[in-house]
Chain A
Amino acid sequence: DAGVIQSPRHEVTEMGQEVTLRCKPISGHDYLFWYRQTMMRGLELLIYFNNNVPIDDSGMPEDRFSAKMPNASFSTLKIQPSEPRDSAVYFCASSDPTGGAETQYFGPGTRLLVL
Protein backbone atom coordinates (compact mmCIF):
# COMPACT_ATOMS: atom_id res chain seq x y z
CA ASP A 1 0.00 0.00 0.00
CA ALA A 2 1.23 3.51 -0.76
CA GLY A 3 0.29 4.76 2.67
CA VAL A 4 -1.62 7.94 3.39
CA ILE A 5 -1.28 10.37 0.50
CA GLN A 6 -1.52 14.12 0.93
CA SER A 7 -1.45 16.90 -1.61
CA PRO A 8 -0.04 19.36 -2.13
CA ARG A 9 3.15 18.85 -0.13
CA HIS A 10 3.79 22.57 0.00
CA GLU A 11 1.43 25.49 -0.43
CA VAL A 12 2.21 29.18 -0.40
CA THR A 13 -0.69 31.56 -0.64
CA GLU A 14 -1.68 35.08 0.20
CA MET A 15 -3.91 36.12 3.03
CA GLY A 16 -7.57 35.96 2.08
CA GLN A 17 -7.19 33.20 -0.47
CA GLU A 18 -8.95 29.86 -0.25
CA VAL A 19 -6.76 26.85 0.50
CA THR A 20 -7.76 23.23 -0.05
CA LEU A 21 -5.73 20.36 1.34
CA ARG A 22 -6.34 16.82 0.18
CA CYS A 23 -5.93 13.40 1.70
CA LYS A 24 -6.27 9.85 0.50
CA PRO A 25 -6.35 7.38 3.41
CA ILE A 26 -5.03 3.85 3.36
CA SER A 27 -7.48 1.56 1.61
CA GLY A 28 -9.73 -0.22 4.08
CA HIS A 29 -9.19 2.25 6.91
CA ASP A 30 -12.45 3.65 8.17
CA TYR A 31 -11.11 6.39 10.43
CA LEU A 32 -9.55 9.57 9.11
CA PHE A 33 -7.96 12.32 11.19
CA TRP A 34 -6.78 15.85 10.38
CA TYR A 35 -4.03 17.38 12.56
CA ARG A 36 -2.22 20.69 12.58
CA GLN A 37 1.36 21.05 13.84
CA THR A 38 3.02 24.31 14.83
CA MET A 39 6.01 25.12 16.98
CA MET A 40 3.86 27.04 19.43
CA ARG A 41 0.97 24.62 19.85
CA GLY A 42 2.45 21.26 18.92
CA LEU A 43 0.22 18.64 17.32
CA GLU A 44 -3.49 19.47 17.45
CA LEU A 45 -6.37 17.26 16.36
CA LEU A 46 -8.73 19.29 14.19
CA ILE A 47 -11.40 16.77 13.20
CA TYR A 48 -11.89 13.08 12.64
CA PHE A 49 -14.26 10.97 10.57
CA ASN A 50 -15.58 7.45 10.90
CA ASN A 51 -17.05 5.85 7.78
CA ASN A 52 -17.05 9.27 6.11
CA VAL A 53 -19.08 10.88 8.90
CA PRO A 54 -17.53 13.65 11.04
CA ILE A 55 -17.40 12.45 14.64
CA ASP A 56 -15.62 15.22 16.49
CA ASP A 57 -14.84 18.62 15.02
CA SER A 58 -14.25 20.39 18.32
CA GLY A 59 -10.64 21.04 17.35
CA MET A 60 -11.53 23.07 14.27
CA PRO A 61 -10.29 26.56 15.16
CA GLU A 62 -13.10 28.60 13.65
CA ASP A 63 -15.67 28.77 10.89
CA ARG A 64 -13.01 29.53 8.32
CA PHE A 65 -12.05 25.86 8.53
CA SER A 66 -14.18 23.11 7.03
CA ALA A 67 -13.56 19.45 6.26
CA LYS A 68 -15.40 16.94 4.14
CA MET A 69 -15.13 13.28 3.34
CA PRO A 70 -17.34 12.57 0.31
CA ASN A 71 -16.22 8.94 0.07
CA ALA A 72 -13.99 6.40 1.79
CA SER A 73 -10.94 7.28 -0.25
CA PHE A 74 -10.87 11.07 -0.17
CA SER A 75 -11.04 13.95 2.27
CA THR A 76 -10.47 17.68 2.05
CA LEU A 77 -9.63 20.37 4.57
CA LYS A 78 -10.52 23.84 3.39
CA ILE A 79 -9.54 27.22 4.82
CA GLN A 80 -11.48 30.20 3.53
CA PRO A 81 -10.31 32.90 3.89
CA SER A 82 -6.78 32.00 4.93
CA GLU A 83 -4.78 34.05 7.44
CA PRO A 84 -1.06 34.16 8.26
CA ARG A 85 -1.71 32.44 11.61
CA ASP A 86 -2.94 29.40 9.69
CA SER A 87 0.62 28.73 8.57
CA ALA A 88 1.49 25.25 9.82
CA VAL A 89 2.02 21.69 8.74
CA TYR A 90 -1.26 19.85 8.28
CA PHE A 91 -1.26 16.09 8.65
CA CYS A 92 -3.82 13.54 7.67
CA ALA A 93 -3.86 10.13 9.34
CA SER A 94 -5.98 7.02 8.95
CA SER A 95 -6.59 3.97 11.06
CA ASP A 96 -8.45 0.70 11.09
CA PRO A 97 -9.69 -0.09 14.58
CA THR A 98 -11.01 -3.56 13.89
CA GLY A 99 -9.56 -6.09 16.31
CA GLY A 100 -8.77 -3.62 19.06
CA ALA A 101 -6.36 -0.76 19.49
CA GLU A 102 -5.72 0.69 16.11
CA THR A 103 -2.60 2.44 14.98
CA GLN A 104 -2.80 5.76 13.21
CA TYR A 105 -0.76 6.04 10.05
CA PHE A 106 0.26 9.53 9.07
CA GLY A 107 0.73 11.12 5.70
CA PRO A 108 3.79 13.23 4.90
CA GLY A 109 1.94 16.46 5.63
CA THR A 110 1.19 19.66 3.76
CA ARG A 111 3.35 22.62 4.71
CA LEU A 112 1.18 25.71 4.41
CA LEU A 113 2.53 29.25 4.38
CA VAL A 114 0.08 32.13 4.29
CA LEU A 115 1.70 35.46 3.49
Chain B
Amino acid sequence: AQSVAQPEDQVNVAEGNPLTVKCTYSVSGNPYLFWYVQYPNRGLQFLLKYITGDNLVKGSYGFEAEFNKSQTSFHLKKPSALVSDSALYFCAVRDVGTGNQFYFGTGTSLTVIP
Protein backbone atom coordinates (compact mmCIF):
# COMPACT_ATOMS: atom_id res chain seq x y z
CA ALA B 1 0.00 0.00 0.00
CA GLN B 2 1.10 3.51 -0.73
CA SER B 3 1.58 5.92 2.14
CA VAL B 4 3.44 8.93 3.38
CA ALA B 5 4.47 9.69 6.94
CA GLN B 6 5.37 13.02 8.43
CA PRO B 7 6.52 12.10 11.93
CA GLU B 8 6.45 15.63 13.33
CA ASP B 9 3.21 17.56 13.74
CA GLN B 10 5.11 20.69 14.72
CA VAL B 11 8.61 22.01 14.05
CA ASN B 12 9.99 25.17 15.62
CA VAL B 13 13.18 26.80 14.43
CA ALA B 14 14.86 30.13 15.07
CA GLU B 15 15.09 32.60 12.22
CA GLY B 16 18.37 32.19 10.36
CA ASN B 17 18.85 28.60 11.46
CA PRO B 18 18.63 25.67 9.06
CA LEU B 19 15.32 23.82 8.99
CA THR B 20 14.34 20.25 8.19
CA VAL B 21 10.84 18.86 7.78
CA LYS B 22 10.83 15.09 7.64
CA CYS B 23 8.98 12.75 5.30
CA THR B 24 9.14 9.02 4.71
CA TYR B 25 7.20 7.09 2.13
CA SER B 26 6.10 3.62 1.18
CA VAL B 27 5.23 2.63 -2.37
CA SER B 28 5.25 -0.58 -4.32
CA GLY B 29 7.03 0.88 -7.33
CA ASN B 30 9.09 3.92 -8.18
CA PRO B 31 7.94 7.01 -6.32
CA TYR B 32 7.30 10.48 -7.54
CA LEU B 33 7.65 12.72 -4.49
CA PHE B 34 6.33 16.20 -3.85
CA TRP B 35 6.34 18.94 -1.25
CA TYR B 36 3.55 21.45 -0.91
CA VAL B 37 3.16 24.45 1.40
CA GLN B 38 -0.09 25.84 2.75
CA TYR B 39 -0.34 29.33 4.19
CA PRO B 40 -3.29 30.22 6.44
CA ASN B 41 -6.60 30.34 4.59
CA ARG B 42 -4.94 29.44 1.30
CA GLY B 43 -4.74 26.41 -0.97
CA LEU B 44 -1.71 24.18 -1.25
CA GLN B 45 1.15 25.53 -3.30
CA PHE B 46 3.67 23.33 -5.09
CA LEU B 47 7.25 23.66 -3.79
CA LEU B 48 9.27 20.97 -5.50
CA LYS B 49 9.22 17.42 -6.81
CA TYR B 50 11.51 14.47 -7.36
CA ILE B 51 11.02 12.28 -10.41
CA THR B 52 14.40 10.86 -11.24
CA GLY B 53 18.01 11.90 -11.51
CA ASP B 54 19.89 13.97 -8.94
CA ASN B 55 18.84 13.10 -5.41
CA LEU B 56 18.97 16.73 -4.32
CA VAL B 57 16.07 18.69 -5.70
CA LYS B 58 15.86 22.48 -5.52
CA GLY B 59 12.53 24.25 -5.43
CA SER B 60 10.78 27.52 -4.74
CA TYR B 61 11.68 30.03 -2.01
CA GLY B 62 15.11 28.49 -1.39
CA PHE B 63 13.79 25.10 -0.33
CA GLU B 64 15.40 21.85 -1.32
CA ALA B 65 14.76 18.20 -0.61
CA GLU B 66 16.92 15.13 -0.64
CA PHE B 67 15.68 11.81 -1.94
CA ASN B 68 17.15 8.86 -0.07
CA LYS B 69 16.07 5.57 -1.55
CA SER B 70 17.67 3.34 1.09
CA GLN B 71 15.92 5.23 3.89
CA THR B 72 12.76 5.85 1.83
CA SER B 73 12.89 9.48 2.86
CA PHE B 74 12.38 12.83 1.19
CA HIS B 75 13.16 15.45 3.81
CA LEU B 76 12.57 19.13 3.08
CA LYS B 77 15.39 21.51 3.97
CA LYS B 78 16.35 25.13 3.89
CA PRO B 79 19.73 26.52 4.95
CA SER B 80 18.40 29.65 6.63
CA ALA B 81 14.80 29.92 7.82
CA LEU B 82 12.70 33.05 7.45
CA VAL B 83 9.74 34.06 9.58
CA SER B 84 7.70 34.07 6.39
CA ASP B 85 8.40 30.34 5.99
CA SER B 86 5.99 29.66 8.85
CA ALA B 87 3.24 27.53 7.31
CA LEU B 88 1.89 24.00 7.01
CA TYR B 89 3.98 21.66 4.88
CA PHE B 90 2.71 18.53 3.15
CA CYS B 91 4.69 15.71 1.64
CA ALA B 92 3.00 13.66 -1.08
CA VAL B 93 3.84 10.58 -3.12
CA ARG B 94 2.52 9.22 -6.34
CA ASP B 95 3.15 5.60 -7.13
CA VAL B 96 3.90 5.61 -10.84
CA GLY B 97 2.64 2.10 -11.26
CA THR B 98 -0.81 2.61 -9.82
CA GLY B 99 -2.22 5.66 -11.53
CA ASN B 100 -2.41 9.33 -10.79
CA GLN B 101 -3.60 9.38 -7.24
CA PHE B 102 -1.54 11.36 -4.78
CA TYR B 103 -1.10 10.28 -1.17
CA PHE B 104 -0.57 13.18 1.19
CA GLY B 105 1.01 13.15 4.61
CA THR B 106 -0.75 14.63 7.60
CA GLY B 107 1.22 17.84 7.41
CA THR B 108 3.86 19.50 9.57
CA SER B 109 3.33 22.94 11.02
CA LEU B 110 6.53 24.96 10.80
CA THR B 111 7.01 27.97 13.04
CA VAL B 112 10.02 30.18 12.55
CA ILE B 113 10.73 32.22 15.66
CA PRO B 114 12.11 35.73 15.16
Contacts and interface: CB of A to CB of B under 8 A. Distances in A.
A joins B in a complex: yes
Interface of A: 4, 31, 33, 42-43, 45, 48, 50, 55-56, 91, 93, 95, 97, 100-109, 111
Nearest to B107: A42
Interface of B: 32, 34, 36, 41-46, 49, 51, 90, 94, 96, 99-102, 104, 106-107
Given A101-B96, A103-B49, A91 B101 contact: no
Given A43-B107, A97-B100, 8 more contacts: A43-B44, A45-B101, A56-B101, A93-B44, A101-B32, A101-B51, A106-B36, A111-B41
Contacts of A97: 100
Dominant secondary structure at the A interface: strand
23 contacts: A4-B43, A33-B102, A42-B104, A42-B106, A42-B107, A43-B44, A43-B90, A45-B101, A45-B104, A48-B100, A50-B100, A93-B44, A101-B94, A102-B100, A103-B34, A104-B34, A104-B102, A105-B46, A106-B36, A106-B45, A107-B43, A109-B43, A111-B41
A103 B104 CA distance: 13
What 9 A-B pairs come out closest when comparing CB atoms? A106-B43, A101-B32, A106-B44, A101-B51, A42-B106, A43-B104, A108-B43, A103-B46, A109-B43
A71 B42 CA distance: 26
Given A31-B100, A42-B107, A108 B51 contact: no
A104 B46 contact: yes
B42 to A, nearest CB: 6
Contacts of B96: 101
Contacts of A101: 32, 49, 51, 94, 96
Given A55-B99, A103-B34, A91 B43 contact: yes
A56 B104 CA distance: 16
Nearest to B34: A103
Contacts of A55: 99-100
Which of A55, A91, A95, A106 has the most B CB atoms < 10 Å from its CB?
A106
